[in-house]
Each structure stands twice: as structure tokens, then as C-alpha cells.
Amino acid sequence: MHHPKFNDFPADFLWGAASAAYQVEGAWDADGKGPSVWDLFTKLPGKTFEGSNGDVAVDHYHRVEEDVALMAEMGLKAYRFSVSWPRIFPTGRGEVNEAGLAFYERLIDSLIAHGIEPVLTLYHWDLPQALQEEYGGWEDRRIIDDFERYCVTLYQRFAGKVKYWVSLNEQNYNLTNAYQLGTHPPAVQDRKRFFAANHIAFLANARVIKAFRQHVPGGLIGPSFAYSPAYPASCDPKDMLAFENAEEFTNLWWLDAYCFGRYPQAALAYLRENGEAPEILAGDLELLREGTPDYIGVNYYYTLTFTDNPIGGQTMQRINTTGQKGTTPSSGVPGLYKTTPNPHLETSNWDWAIDPTGMRIALRRLSSRYGLPLMITENGLGEFDKLTADGRVHDDYRIAYLRSHLKACQEALQDGAELLGYCAWSFTDILSWLNGYQKRYGFVYVERDEQGGSLRRIKKESFHWYKSVIASGGKTL
């Protein structure tokens, strides 16, 4: 669709930015916090870039007032953050760690005092290590009760202060890396275990959404999904079928389970044929249908292009974690699909396709299929930002990226999507899970590398640009 003109962004549009606990907080064992799976995994040789970890991260835990003051200076309308489960329950269950709750209450109160809407993510991958050791984490149904107990604790504490909640963040991306590629803890490569863990995570997600409606009247909750819309490499019917396979297995498997309480038919039939389908017990699908979301959080970074992959063909491969452009291999599932470069798109140094039109396509597909409000809960560009001799960071490339994607949001609004807000990834620079501190996303530069640093905060050019966009309600795009 080509529109002759565009309406303004809604007056109540949430112009925001985002982060995640492990990537920014540091203070990994402070004030009673227990270890998460990432606290141990990142200490294993060869798992992350130059052995980087989140022990200190960017020390948001001790600099929360400074960081919120910068958010207020920028004029943010929303800030999405996550709560660390082992900071609240050090062993995943048992006694509540009041110091952990007090930290998040201080953050939330500070945001509200500055007119910033808190968007609280319940789970952003930092599973308590104790639960992984006790029963295998997401591979055991016992986690459903433990996760609900943790979430209800947060509901009861923050129900009157937080309206927008995210249940699970990027379940698809996290568990793909954890159980297929072996690059996230527990570092398994087993497709049957992958689908089993996902099914249990779906049940946990539905359970905590059901509980949410009892404890947070008037609130909105939904998962954040890493949506990379699938494209066919050509109009060859083989590529079209590969595209259909990829969209079902890399996107709709999760989205349909969240929103419809069922799995895509062809994908489920294929898994049953190959002995990889999850065990679906009596009552499971009923629970999924009872725990559907109020909105969908969309984490959009890139699209993926797919071509035919015969039986015995290309297997799944690990992604580029070095920033050496052009080093990402083709990856796929034999008999279903494999990725191929899109010749029409530029890529980042991490080989992520830069495709703002893909964001518009993502929002249109989701809006048309599920009929739910949407929120961009992550979107941003990770690059090698450099601090110049005059103490500035000239990140015009990030401004161009964000501008084009915000314009795509405006186009999607014109197409009829209900878009609640846009949370850029990220507010400050962060620890990138596998890429260390070299891959920078923030509006605020944090002076540190894999060996450490002063942690000084420096506003990038993009900080001032986004500030002006927010002040204009998007009119300066």
C-alpha cells in the first residue's frame, strides 16, 4: 500500500526504551541475590566474547537514579526493564528477598515520579540456577508453579504502580539457542527436548497470565516475541513451500500457541511424524486458551529469507558473534528450509538484514492474524560505536536506522495496526549476551569494555535526536 499522507502518532503513544536485568544491573551477588544460569554459564571458557559477563555489566543496580534522570532528560514516556527472578527468590522459590523487591520498587517509583510509564518484564532469561540444577528448569512442569509463585509476588507488590507487563521475553530465541544451537544455558542440542521445553514454557506463560487477571485489574500483559518475518527467496514453488515451513516453525509455532491456544496443524503433524512433538496432556490446550495475552510485544530486528532445503541438507548453524561482517553461514532444518542472503538488503556488521519495511510487514501480519494491540518492545542497531577525542559519539547510522523503523511504525498505524508504543533497544549500552560490550545499542554510551572501565555515561548523538522526536510526537521524523 502507498499512502498519500500519514496520520500523526497517537497522543498517548509510549515513546520508550528498554533493557534487561542481566545485561545492565551488575551486582550479581549483592543484597541476597542468588545465582542465575547466566552467572555460571558466562564463566565457562569459550562461551562468550572474550569471556565477558554481567557481574558488573553497566552497574545500573548502583546507578539507577542517574540512569532514570537521563531518561527524564530525554523525555521518555516509557521504560521497559526486567526483574531478575533470583534477585527476588534466590533459589527460585522459598523466602522472598525483600532487598530485591525494594530495588525494583525504587526503580518503579523513580520512573513514575519522572512521568515515565514502567513496562515490567517478568522473565528475560535469568533462570535461577537452583531450579536448573534441581529439575532441569524449563524441561520440567514443576517450573510452572514456581514461576507463578514468583510472578504473583510481583503482581501483589506492584499492581497499583505498573500497568504494562511482559510475561516471557523471546521464548523462541532463548530456547532455540538453549536447546538447538547450544549457545545459551543449558547448552543442549536436541530438537525433541527443545519442543518439550517450549510446551512447558507456553503452559507457564498461560498460567501467569490467568493469575495476572486476578491480581492486576486494569493491567495489560503479553509475551514479547522475537519476530523475524519469513520471506521466500523466489517465486519458485519450492521456495514458497520453504517460506511457509519457516513461517510456521520459526514464528507461528509460538504466536499461535500464545494467541489461539493451539499449534499450527502442518507443523504439529510433521513433528509427530518425526517423533519430536511435545507431550500434550489433558487440560494443556484448555489452559493455553484460558491464558491468552492482552497484547503482543514485538522484538523486531531483521527479516529472514528462505529457500528449499532437501532431506539431508543444511543443518542449523551458530550466528555471527564477532561483528566480522559476512561470517554468518546458511542455517536450516533438513527437509524444511534454509536461510539465504537477501540481495535487496544491506546488513549490519553482525549480518542482520536492515529492513524497515519488514517491520511494517511484521505489524500487519500480527495485527491481521491475531487482532490484538501491539507494542514494539525491542528494536535497535548494535554497532561498534566509538568515543571521539572530543568526548562524543557520532552514531548517525543508528539515527538513520531508528528513523526508518519509526516511519515503518507510522505506516503500519496507517494500515490499521493498533500500536501502543515503541521501546528502542536499548537506553544505555549493555552487555550483549554472547557479544560482550563491543556490540553497542544504547542512546547513552557507557565507558567500558570486556576488561572493565569507568562506567561513565555519555549521551550519543542519537540521544539528542530521539529527544527531539519524542518532544515533537514523531513530527520531526
pLDDT in tens, 400-439: 999 999 999 999 999 999 999 999 999 999 999 999 999 9
How many whole angstroms separate alpha carbon 144 and alpha carbon 127?
A: 13
pLDDT for residue 30: 97
> Is 170 marked active-site?
yes
- Among candidate residues 25, 117, 170, 248, the one labeled active-site is 170
Radius of gyration of the chain (CA): 21
Mean predicted confidence (pLDDT) in 112-127: 99
Mean predicted confidence (pLDDT) in 200-205: 99
pTM for the model: 0.97
pLDDT in tens, 47-94: 998 899 999 999 999 999 999 999 999 999 999 999 999 999 999 999
- Among candidate residues 117, 139, 378, 411, the one labeled active-site is 378
pLDDT for residue 1: 80
DSSP 5: S
> DSSP string covering 321-380, please?
-S--TT-PPP-EETTTEEE---TT--B-TT--B--HHHHHHHHHHHHHHH---EEEEE--
Name residue, grid cell 511484521.
362
For domain 14-471, give the CATH number.
3.20.20.80
Smallest CA-to-CA distance from 158 within 229, 109, 94, 225 is with 109
**Residue 4: pLDDT band with limits 50, 70, 90:** confident
Does residue 318 surpass a pLDDT of 90?
Answer: no
pLDDT in tens, 214-225: 999 999 999 999
> Is 378 marked active-site?
yes
Spell out the residues 6+ positions from residue 307 whose beta carbon is closer than 8 angstroms to its own.
Answer: 232, 233, 234, 238, 239, 242, 337, 338, 339, 340
pLDDT for residue 5: 80
- List C-alpha distances in Å: 377 to 121, 158, 425: 10, 20, 8
pLDDT for residue 349: 96
Spell out the residues 6+ positions from residue 410 whose beta carbon is closer than 8 angstroms to its own.
Answer: 6, 7, 9, 474, 477
pLDDT for residue 7: 87
Name residue, grid cell 499449534.
263
**Residue 445: pLDDT band with limits 50, 70, 90:** very high
Does residue 3 surpass a pLDDT of 90?
Answer: no
Please give the mean pLDDT across all residues of the chain: 97
